[in-house]
Amino acid sequence: MILLGACAGWSLITAAVHGGRPEGMLLAVLALAAGYAGGRVSGALLPVAAPCAGAAAGLVLAVTLPRLSPGPWYAGPLGSAGGTAALLALAAGAACCAAWAAGVPALRFGLAALACAAVPAGLLLGSAAGCVAGGAVLLCSLAAGSAHGRGRWLAGLAGTAVLVTAVIWAVAAGALPGGLAGAFGGWFPAHRVPQWQDALRLAGHHRGLGVGPGRFGELGGLGAPASPADGRPHSAPLQQAAEQGLVGVSLLAAVFCWVLYALWRTARPTPVALTAGAALTALAALASVSNALSFTPVTAGAGLLAGWATARPWSP
Specify the pLDDT at position 258: 96
Question: Mean pLDDT over residues 40-60, rounded?
Answer: 95
Question: Mean pLDDT over residues 224-243, rounded?
Answer: 73
| pLDDT level of residue 70 (50, 70, 90 thresholds) | very low
pLDDT, tens digit, 9 for 90 and up, residues 84-113? 899 999 999 999 999 999 989 999 999 999
CB 81 within 8 A of CB 71: yes
Which of 18-32, 104-118, 150-164, 205-219 is predicted with the least confidence, judged by mean pLDDT? Answer: 205-219
Query: Considering only CA atoms, which of 276, 267, 278, 275 is closest in space to residue 304?
Result: 276
What string of DSSP letters covers 206-274?
Answer: -TTT-S-TT-HHHH--SS-TTS-SSS--S-HHHHHHHHHHHHHHHHHHHHHHHHHHHHHH-SS-HHHHH
Q: Is the pLDDT of residue 76 over 70?
A: no
pLDDT, tens digit, 9 for 90 and up, residues 159-202? 999 999 999 998 888 877 766 766 666 677 767 888 888 899 99
Distance of alpha carbon 93 from alpha carbon 51, whole angstroms: 9
| Helices and strands, counts by H and E, the chain | 14, 0
Q: What is the mean pLDDT of the chain?
A: 86
Write the CA distances from 251 to 9, 29, 71, 137, integer angstroms: 11, 12, 28, 25
Question: Mean pLDDT over residues 242-271, rounded?
Answer: 95
Specify the pLDDT at position 220: 59
What string of DSSP letters covers 149-194?
Answer: -SHHHHHHHHHHHHHHHHHHHHHHHT-S-HHHHHHHHTTS-TTHHH
Q: Is the pLDDT of residue 206 over 60?
A: yes
Provide the residue ranges of all domains of the chain, joining segments of one domain with +.
Answer: 2-310
Provide, rounded to the nearest whole percent, the portion of the chain with pLDDT above 70.
Answer: 87
Question: Mean pLDDT over residues 243-263, rounded?
Answer: 95
Taking the model in full, what pTM does it have? 0.90
Neighbouring residues of 263: CB distance < 8 A, sequence distance ≥ 6: 150, 154, 273, 274, 276, 277, 306, 309, 310
Query: Is the model more confident about 285 or about 234?
Result: 285
Helix (H) or strand (E) holding 136: helix 128-144
